[in-house]
Structure 1
């Protein structure tokens, strides 16, 4: 689901135990592998998530501005690594798509009436983003190493702090609730603002059961040193709906506008 957040951030700025460290950190009773296994179980189970071939979320996202403008979005993901994010406002649609190897974006809000390829940085981030099931589902098969680094408090919840090292050696920290074993927070891709890099944190809230699986319905992204956060609220979730691969291909200009416009 972090793939959704990567795509959302790109547009918002407009307006299994193998591979895990098994030793427990001080003050913890569980190993990294056990925390990961309990997280997957709490979210619905490994086999249930493996059975999800596509995931679509729609709702509202805060794009900022003086009036905290909320606009509708639709995010669609399909295995193994395809994604599409649409943001609609004033009869126009901004979008980002990734076909598993290449990505494109359309940004009419910036007066750019053309399809642009991902930058080298955007392509790298897209390739690193987790699949639709999240970072701990099938983590070993994805080539991720998980280490436990102790306990921390996240918004009043005691949480296990995990260090994830992806197969490309990118490192991220993830905090898992010590009671519910659901994700509370994860490090995002650092963002460059005012000429320097700022750390990013993504908070997961309001979990609901969708098709037997627990899915967060509120994502809030905070950039260290920036007071304003961005909140995405999910109203509808659909799993295993038929999704044509053409949806993730290079967009035609007409597809960047609402029908009939």
Structure 2
């Protein structure tokens, strides 16, 4: 799965320390691993039928002013997203229309003005495969996949795949060697201070939603930090009607709705991959 962007997480294996091993000659090929992953997640035909998706749940973030903040993530192919999180009855919003994105969050002065995505944020959002992730239908998306090795993820063997996107960015996807579900992905993310950090996103608590396997728990955080963000998905809706207008530049809140609330939309939890979240 993969879907929130709706807050970003990251990729670059050089800084990650895992116990890697070479894939034995008799082991599975990359095409076989991807094929088993697609089958484990519900099948290619079933995923192709999903054009829109909504997640609703709650988020716990080191950057949030309170725990268990309710969120809604709306996704529409190929890569439109709208992520809303509610803090003290105020909404912080990030939207991407497929080309450009905006961030809206009340600040300490009690006002809010939509701000455009940075160049790096827009590029990263264009790379996202918000409905089904990097592996499903990867050739049609222009994503090339190679097999690098095997690692231990959560105490279990996992195949480490390198997925190179049309933009040239390479991300790594770990596929559980027993269930063949993708359980981890990495990404490089640029912080508001201009630093580039490697973020790991881990997927767990997979459940069947109309025959598709969805991770209902997504934990993300920089490799070099102990602080983690956790998205818990309480409900998944497949193919709801979503008007393109909800993915356009958000309107500022009305004056009577404004309160003095501090929300940093630049430091929000990373969205899946997506991861997805993608899912």
Secondary structure of the residue aligned to 2:124 is helix
Distance 1:211 1:256 in 2: 42
User: How does 1:91-170 map onto structure 2 within 5 Å?
Assistant: 91-109=89-107, 111=109, 113-170=112-169
Q: Is the Cα–Cα contact under 8 Å of residues 60 and 233 in structure 1 kept in the other structure? A: yes
- Other-structure match for 1:86: 84
> Structure 2 length normalisation: TM-score?
0.81
- Other-structure match for 1:254: 253
The alignment's C-alpha RMSD in Å is 2.4
User: How does 1:1-261 map onto structure 2 within 5 Å?
Assistant: 1-2=1-2, 4=4, 6-9=5-8, 25-26=23-24, 29-64=27-62, 69-109=67-107, 111=109, 113-192=112-191, 196-254=195-253
Shift of the alpha carbon at 1:2?
4.8
Secondary structure of the residue aligned to 1:226 is coil
Give 1 or 2: higher strand fraction. Answer: 1
The structure, 1 or 2, with the larger RCO (C-alpha pairs under 8 Å, 6+ apart) is 2
Structure 1: gaps of 5 or more residues: 11-23
Shift of the alpha carbon at 1:194?
6.9
Residue deviations 1:199-248 (CA, integer Å, cap 9, x gap): 11000000000111000000000212211111110000000111111111
Q: Quick check: 62-71 or 227-236, which moved more? A: 62-71
Distance 1:115 1:194 in 2: 20
Give 1 or 2: higher helix fraction. Answer: 1
Residue deviations 1:135-190 (CA, integer Å, cap 9, x gap): 11100000111101121110111101101111111101110000000011100233
Structure 2: gaps of 5 or more residues: 10-21, 258-279
Shift of the alpha carbon at 1:196?
4.1
Residues 219 and 66 (structure 1), Cα distance of their counterparts in 2 relative to 1, 3 Å cut: closer
